[in-house]
Structure 1
Amino acid sequence: MDDMLKAPVGTTRMHILAWLREPALAETGATAEGVAARFGLPRPVALTHLRLLTAIGLLHATPLGGRVYYRCDEVRIADVARRFEKGW
C-alpha cells in the first residue's frame, strides 16, 4: 500500500495516465516507444514509469505483435480516487 501512495506522485506519471485516458488511446493503449515520443523521454525512462504504474495496478500491460501496450485500468483508478475522496 505504501508503494502505491508514493508511486504516482510525479507529474510525468500523472501526465502519462491522463494521456492514456484520452479516447484515441483508451482502447488500444500505447507502447513505451509511444510514451517516450509523446513526453520526450528516453525509452528506458518511459518504460520505468509504465512498469511502475502497472505494478501498482493503474495500468494493464498487453503483449501484442512483439510489443507491449499499456492502457489504464479505469476500475482501479476509480477505486483509488474514491479512497482519496474519503480521506484515506
Structure 2
Amino acid sequence: MEPSLIYKALSNETRRQIMLWLKKPEDYFDEAKYLEHGITFRIGVCVADIQAKSGLAQSVISSYLLTLQQAGLLQSERIGKWTYYRRNDKTIQEFSDYVRNEL
C-alpha cells in the first residue's frame, strides 16, 4: 500500500463517487442483466455501467478506474470483452488503519 497514491486517487470527486457506488453496487446498478449471464456483483461492475452512471466519456472513466486500480483501491476481472471492477477491501482496510494509527 502506497498512501500517496491513495490520497491522489481519492482527491477527485468522481473517483470517490465510484468507490461509493462499488461499496454497495446493488444500490446503484441493476444486477438483473448480470444474473442473466451468470455473473454477480461479486465479480464487479462493468466499466460500461460505471461510465453510463457517471455521464462522463468512456476514456475519462477508464482513466479514473486505472488510477484507482494503480492505487490498489480496485481490482478488475476481464470476462470476454468486458472488464468488471470491484473494491479491494484489503487495501482499503490497510489505508484506514494507516490513517487511524499513523496520522
Give the TM-score range, shorter chain: 0.7 to 0.9
For the pair shown, which has the larger CA radius of gyration, 1 or 2?
2
Q: What CA deviation, in whole Å up to 9, does each residue of 1:51-81 have, x standing for no partner?
A: 1101111000101121111100111111111
Per the alignment, do residues 4 and 35 of structure 1 end up closer, same or farther by CA in structure 2, a change over 3 Å counting? same
Q: What CA deviation, in whole Å up to 9, does each residue of 1:13-56 have, x standing for no partner?
A: 11100101105375131122111111111111111110110111
Aligned to 1:16: 18
Percent identity between matched residues is 26
Aligned to 1:79: 94
Residues of 2 paired with 1:10 and 1:86: CA distance? 24
Aligned to 2:81: 66
Runs (4+) of structure 1 moved beyond 6 Å? none
Structure 1 unmatched runs, 5+: none
Q: CA deviation at 1:5?
A: 2.3
2:60 alignment partner AA: V
1:55 alignment partner AA: Q
Higher RCO, 1 vs 2 (CA within 8 Å, ≥6 residues apart): 2
Contact 2:46 2:82 in 1 (8 A): yes
1:7 is aligned to 2:9: yes
1:31 is aligned to 2:13: no
CA RMSD of aligned residues (A): 1.7
